[in-house]
Structure 1
Amino acid sequence: MASPDQINNYPVDARGADWRNRDIGTLDLINANLCRTDIRGANLTCCRLENTDLRLAKYDSKTAVPDGFNIRTSGAIGPGAQLNGAFLNNADLRGIDLRKASLMGAYLSGADLSGALLDNISLAGADLRHAILRGAMCRGTRFGTSELKMADLRGADLTEANLDTLESIQGSDFSMCKGMDPYIQTLLERPAIELDHWNPLTRSTTRASLESLSLEA
């Protein structure tokens, strides 16, 4: 992957590069392709980010950008990102910080959000089919009418999350989830076609995963 201090060709093509915690210096990033580049903790304050493709790039609260540049609306993924309706299917978002982000209607089917920070965000209408949210922090998360078919939520913290109007939980696995007590009985009243669907990845049915929480309580 392209290292910032070894780039000689312009416009820069650093798709998928790992620039975490790097000082990018005065690298000319006009018209650069930084799609899927990891810039968490990176210092880009002296770079020019005009027409830079940052779609699916990962940033965090320590990422430094030039004054006046709004990384939250750039297509990059991180705290406060505006990603309503974004196509993030099968994206590797393990451990990503998405607090204060907006992901209403986002396409996250197959995305790996293991250990992600999703506290208090809105996922209303999001497609989370086959998504992996193992150990994700979803405290106060508003799932609304999101689609959770075959989602792996094992060990996620769903304290005070809104699970009242989910589109489908067919094959979802809630084993070892925290904060589920207020929702267990309501979810167990959903149609049998959802509750008794086998998830080959987690080797459980939705019903069994919910009933295991009742036993723990």
Structure 2
Amino acid sequence: MAKGSHVDLARRGRLEIDRWREGHPYDHLDLTGADLSGIDLSSAVLAHALLSDCQFIDAKLDGVDLSNSHLVGARFDKASLRRANFTAALMTNVSLVKAQMEEATLTDADLSWAQANCATLTNSVLTRADLINADFSSADLTNAQLGECDLISTVLNDACLKHAHLVKARLINTQAERADLSGAALTDAHVVGVNFRSANLTGINLSEACLSDLTQAILRDADLTDCRLIDSVFCKADLRGANLENADLRGCDLREISLNETKSVRGILLDHASVSDEKFLAALAVSKTPPEGCDELTELWFVTSRGDPKSLVLQRRPVDPGI
């Protein structure tokens, strides 16, 4: 339970908190369970504060320092948290629904099980944050820094992650239906069992991602136009309705998948991509609804064995010098 004197102190505003901190440099402000909805504590220093189950609904907290604070179960719904500092804060089960968090810093914060539906986190920094089981559906994470984040079972449905930085992030069983990841960087990311159904992955960068694993990923209707997916693993991925126009699939593992029901395969690069069937390309021609560019694909590429008859790869047909 919060200390009554601390709650009164907070309600008197930032300057009173500053004066208290000067006289109590080793004490932690304890506002546990307090209802401070609508309060204005912009630029206040609340580092190391005890704020679990505290309510800051509709509060104005721009520029507030909440680094290393305990915020378990706290509610910041519709709060203004622009440029707020949550570095290393414990934020499990926190509610950030519709919070305005542009340019906020959440480096090393623990947001597991957080509810951040419709929150605005454009240009925010969440490097190494723990987002396990967090819900960011319909959130705006444009240009967000999510490098080395744990996004295990995280919900990103309908979220905007345009140009987001997800280098070395772990996306395992993540839900990203209808998410916009256009221009996002996922190099060296670990991507397993992610649902990208109807997602926009235009221009996404997975190149040089030795851990890029899209095994069993649902990529139905995903836009992979111009995507660099070099050496990625698509084993058993669902690509029905996906647009692969001009995608770079060199060295990819395409075993146990079909391109028959994709929207377009025009201009894709397939050098040394692995397949599991000699008829991988021939099957396109007999598909009920052949993808755009399938004729060009079968003319330019063929399946060959790489020493071992069971090791099949795609190779470009040699150009006839007489043509």
User: Structure 2-normalised TM-score?
Assistant: 0.46
Conserved 8 A contact 2:204-2:227: no
1:92-147 CA distance string (max 9 Å, x none): 11112222221111111111111112110111111111111111111110010101
Q: Matched residues in 2 for 1:50 and 1:178: separation?
A: 35
SS of equivalent residue, structure 2 residue 150: coil
Label 1:5 to 1:164 Cα distance change in 2 as closer, same or farther (>3 A): same
Conserved 8 A contact 1:103-1:124: yes
Task: State the Cα distance separating 1:179 from its structure 2 match.
Answer: 2.3
Structure 1 residue ranges without an equivalent (≥5): 65-69, 198-204
Q: Which residue of 1 aligns with 2:213?
A: 179
1:164-189 CA distance string (max 9 Å, x none): 321x21110112143224459x68x9
Say yes or no: does 1:79 pair with 2:112: yes
Q: Which residue of 1 aligns with 2:247?
A: 207
Label 1:33 to 1:138 Cα distance change in 2 as closer, same or farther (>3 A): same
Conserved 8 A contact 1:90-1:112: yes
Picking from 39, 46, 51, the partner of 2:66 is 39
Q: Matched residues in 1 for 2:76 and 2:181: separation?
A: 38
Task: State the Cα distance separating 1:72 from its structure 2 match.
Answer: 2.5
SS of equivalent residue, structure 2 residue 247: helix
* Root mean square deviation of aligned Cα: 4.5
Task: State the Cα distance separating 1:37 from its structure 2 match.
Answer: 4.4
Q: Which residue of 2 aligns with 1:120?
A: 153
Say yes or no: does 1:7 pair with 2:18: yes
SS of equivalent residue, structure 1 residue 7: helix
Q: Matched residues in 2 for 1:41 and 1:72: separation?
A: 17
Conserved 8 A contact 1:173-1:206: no
Which protein has greater RCO, CA pairs closer than 8 Å, 6+ apart? Answer: 1
1:62-110 CA distance string (max 9 Å, x none): 469xxxxx74247487222221111111111111222222111111111
Q: Which residue of 1 aligns with 2:240?
A: none
User: Which structure: larger Rg?
Assistant: 2
Q: Which residue of 2 aligns with 1:90?
A: 123
Structure 2 residue ranges without an equivalent (≥5): 1-14, 21-38, 229-244, 254-271, 275-323
Q: Matched residues in 2 for 1:86 and 1:50: separation?
A: 10
Q: Which residue of 1 aligns with 2:202?
A: 170
Conserved 8 A contact 1:61-1:79: no
Letter in 2 for 1:39: L
Conserved 8 A contact 1:104-1:124: yes
More strand by share: 2
